[in-house]
């Protein structure tokens, strides 16, 4: 059957078509219209950039079309690369994967002498346009006539890193190992840029989208804010992105309509607002922005008051796919306890998670929990020996193996050893800090870069909950499904998560309309059975929203009441959704 999965979901923003500009000619003209007469006086255009923006493309295009008399690049006023390495090292550390969430702000990146010299140069211009651009451009300029914020999606930054097109802030490490470069961006660069963004984006005259090289788009600040407000008043989807992996499978190629010529797809990030993009439609033009912007600027409407007060402007629920159909096992792994992640990495909550089986082969399985009565020191030694080139780790001697079927649900609170096996299609429902995975064993294979993937046995041994053995897991973590309610054409089940986790999940089976309510907190859902369904407002507060099989969608807390029923090809057939929300 042909895929109906929408890979490019767009939130339409009616009434602001004239606030969107495509191509450098239109962008430059829109900016020019906002500038004072530079033949008579000085004007300052600041282009503040997020990490990863191709600044030289913007510089060249604006230089040719606006002809500034002076161009000042913020990075030239930074500390030296050696000084920045020293400044960021306490947060970056010398670990290949893990660091500490930085408290640095952009002002710390500037050399005081260079900064003052650049500001003197700026003050010395009496007439004509001055262009100041880069990360920290607004800090350098202090005042401006027009502010354009050049944003960048984090998934695109990662692709540019892999192509060696991007370095870290103030660095020239274009060819450094991707994992180390990504780590510095995750723990330092993006945190610094987010602090700048929170201050500047709401008062920017324009947002500039350069995610596609040579195809820039720009929206007015008014049009951008209208797009964000449109999203929080209705169900919406973020734009998924798909990545290969050493264990990746073949299921998503067919179901999600992906390129069949590529070797595999391992992950789909379908609701990870820190990573995904939000696509805003202005007439025929589509502008791509990081979906985390919505979390930053409308946290209470999106998350709900109680969730916002607990987590701040962070989206605490993650949905993603793990495809091993025709692939291999994931790495054997464990996630840190809350106390451990706070002490070692500066995060205030950890990655509790669960595996919901969208599909499974006849011999599919998951590793979950430990065998009864194992010797923990013997297990750690076996892991260490395997990592050091000895005999492969015999996982089934130490870790319990559970057969899986479609629609099973396995709960995985932090501290539980786990691993999805081959020939499974997992919808992973979890808390958001996904980078903190301690791999214990990776089956002796290499990553796609030809290098061994990092193993973290020492971190792992410090957090493994050794009492979570076969009997404990069977009682607490395997298919803890309980009926909750039922009505005409529907039934509701509680599916988890474990009492140690802060996410609750509910599954609804339905052939007719099911009434839902956000309950004052954000809801995240996936259509796990059925070709398509429709989400509607009981009072017409938002336009009907159609979702397709395996699509994840977000219902902001502000929506309140909504309903879901089979639609189109699924009318008269049974459908199912799984819904996650934060327990209150």
What's the pLDDT band for 433 if we cut at 50, 70, 90? low
CA dihedral 100, 102, 103, 104 (to 10 degrees): 150
Q: What percent of the chain has pLDDT over 90?
A: 86
Are residues 19 and 223 in contact, defined by beta-carbon separation less than 8 angstroms? yes
In CATH, the architecture of 241-476 is Sandwich (2.60)
Return d(Cα 439, Cα 175) in angstroms, integer: 25
Are residues 292 and 274 in contact, defined by beta-carbon separation less than 8 angstroms? yes
Beta strand ranges found along 53-127 (DSSP E): 70-73
Distances (CA, A) of 394 to 386, 399, 474: 9, 9, 22
Which pLDDT score is estimated for 352?
Answer: 83
Distances (CA, A) of 155 to 124, 171, 256, 277, 288: 40, 20, 18, 8, 12
| Residues carrying CATH 3.40.50.300, the chain | 10-231
Tokens of 246: 């050493």
Q: Which residues contact 361 (CB under 8 A, 6 or more apart)?
A: 325, 422, 423, 424
Which pLDDT score is estimated for 483?
Answer: 96
Beta strand ranges found along 530-574 (DSSP E): 532-536, 545-548, 552-555, 561-566
Residue 438 is given by DSSP the state E
Tell me: the pLDDT tens digits for 256-311? 999 999 999 999 999 988 889 999 999 999 999 999 999 999 999 999 999 999 99
Which pLDDT score is estimated for 339?
Answer: 87
Tell me: the pLDDT tens digits for 177-223? 888 999 999 999 999 999 999 999 999 999 999 999 999 999 999 99
Which pLDDT score is estimated for 104?
Answer: 98
Which pLDDT score is estimated for 236?
Answer: 98
Which pLDDT score is estimated for 350?
Answer: 72
Which pLDDT score is estimated for 347?
Answer: 72
| Residues carrying CATH 2.60.120.10, the chain | 241-476, 482-582
CATH of 482-582, one of 2.40.320.10, 3.40.50.300, 2.60.120.10, 3.40.50.720: 2.60.120.10
Return d(Cα 19, Cα 223) in angstroms, integer: 6
Tokens of 387: 């990592």
Q: Is the dihedral of CA 219, 222, 224, 226 positive or negative?
A: negative
What's the pLDDT band for 584 if we cut at 50, 70, 90? confident
Which pLDDT score is estimated for 59?
Answer: 97
Q: Which residues contact 296 (CB under 8 A, 6 or more apart)?
A: 194, 197, 198, 201, 313
Three-state secondary structure call for residue 379: helix
Which pLDDT score is estimated for 500?
Answer: 74
Nearest to 469 by CA among 370, 572, 541: 370
- Report how far apart the first and last C-alpha atoms of the chain are (Å, whole number): 41
Number of H helices and E strands in the chain, helices first, is: 18, 31
Distances (CA, A) of 356 to 320, 405, 431, 525, 534: 10, 10, 14, 12, 22
Nearest to 269 by CA among 251, 286, 244: 244
Tokens of 363: 């011999």
What's the pLDDT band for 434 if we cut at 50, 70, 90? low
CATH fold of 10-231, please? Answer: Rossmann fold (3.40.50)
Residue 127 scores a pLDDT above 80: yes
Q: Which of 46-60, 497-511, 521-535 has the lowest mean pLDDT?
A: 497-511
Strand order across the 285-290 sheet: 10-12, 277-282, 285-290
Q: Which residues contact 124 (CB under 8 A, 6 or more apart)?
A: none
Tell me: the pLDDT tens digits for 62-98? 999 999 999 999 999 999 999 999 999 999 998 877 8
Residue 503 scores a pLDDT above 70: yes
Burial 144-158 (b: 16+ CB within 10 A, else e): bbbbbbbbbbbbbbb
Residue 509 scores a pLDDT above 90: yes
Three-state secondary structure call for residue 362: coil
- Mean pLDDT over 504-529 rounds to 97
Which pLDDT score is estimated for 238?
Answer: 97
Which pLDDT score is estimated for 454?
Answer: 77
Provide the mean pLDDT of the chain.
94
């Amino acid at each position: 059957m042909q895929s109906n999965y929408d890979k490019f979901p767009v939130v339409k923003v009616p009434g602001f078509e004239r606030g969107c500009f495509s191509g450098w000619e239109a962008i430059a003209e829109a900016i020019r219209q906002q500038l004072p007469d530079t033949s008579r006086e000085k004007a300052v255009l600041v282009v503040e950039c997020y990490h990863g923006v191709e600044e030289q493309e913007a510089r060249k295009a604006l230089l040719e079309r606006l002809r500034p008399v002076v161009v000042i690049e913020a990075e030239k006023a930074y500390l030296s690369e050696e000084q920045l390495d020293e400044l960021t090292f306490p947060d970056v550390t010398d670990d290949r994967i893990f660091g500490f969430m930085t408290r640095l702000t952009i002002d710390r990146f500037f050399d005081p002498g260079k900064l003052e010299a650049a500001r003197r140069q700026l003050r010395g211009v009496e007439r004509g346009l001055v262009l100041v651009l880069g990360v920290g451009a607004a800090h350098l300029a202090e005042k401006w006539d027009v502010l354009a914020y050049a944003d960048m999606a984090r998934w695109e930054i990662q692709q540019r890193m892999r192509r060696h097109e991007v370095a870290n802030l103030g660095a020239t490490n274009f060819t450094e190992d991707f994992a180390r470069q990504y780590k510095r961006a995750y723990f330092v660069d993006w945190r610094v840029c987010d602090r700048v963004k929170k201050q500047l984006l709401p008062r920017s005259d324009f947002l500039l989208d350069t995610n596609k090289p040579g195809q820039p788009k720009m929206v007015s600040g008014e049009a951008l804010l209208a797009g964000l407000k449109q999203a929080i008043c209705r169900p919406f989807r973020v734009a998924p992105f798909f990545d290969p992996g050493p264990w990746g499978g073949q299921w998503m190629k067919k179901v999600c309509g992906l390129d069949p010529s590529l070797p595999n797809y391992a992950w789909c990030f379908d609701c990870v607002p820190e990573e995904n993009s939000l696509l805003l439609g202005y007439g025929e033009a589509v502008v791509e922005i990081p979906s985390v912007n919505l979390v930053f600027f409308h946290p209470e409407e999106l998350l709900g008051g109680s969730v916002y007060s607990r987590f701040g402007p962070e989206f605490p629920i993650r949905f993603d796919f793990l495809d091993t159909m025709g692939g291999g096992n994931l790495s054997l792994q464990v996630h840190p306890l809350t106390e451990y992640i706070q002490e070692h990495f500066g995060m205030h909550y950890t990655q509790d998670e669960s595996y919901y089986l969208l599909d499974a082969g006849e011999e599919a399985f998951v590793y979950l929990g430990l065998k009864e009565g194992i010797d923990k020191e013997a297990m750690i030694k076996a892991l260490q020996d395997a990592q050091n080139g000895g005999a492969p780790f015999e996982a089934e001697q130490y870790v319990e193996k559970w057969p899986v079927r479609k629609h099973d649900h396995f709960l995985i609170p932090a501290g539980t050893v786990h691993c999805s096996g081959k020939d499974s299609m997992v919808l992973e429902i979890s808390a958001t800090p996904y980078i903190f995975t301690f791999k214990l064993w990776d089956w002796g294979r290499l990553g796609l870069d030809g290098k061994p993937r990092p193993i973290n046995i020492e971190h792992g041994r410090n957090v493994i909950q050794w009492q979570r053995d076969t009997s404990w897991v069977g009682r607490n973590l395997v298919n803890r499904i309980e009926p909750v309610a039922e009505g005409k054409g529907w039934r509701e089940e509680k599916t988890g998560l474990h009492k140690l986790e802060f996410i609750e999940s509910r599954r609804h089976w339905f052939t007719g309309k099911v009434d839902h309510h956000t309950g004052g907190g954000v809801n995240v859902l996936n259509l796990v059975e059925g070709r398509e369904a429709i989400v509607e407002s009981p009072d017409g507060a938002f336009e009907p929203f159609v979702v397709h099989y395996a699509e994840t969608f977000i219902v902001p807390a502000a929506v309140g009441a909504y309903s879901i029923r089979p639609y189109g090809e699924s009318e008269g057939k049974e459908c199912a959704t799984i819904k996650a929300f934060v327990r209150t």
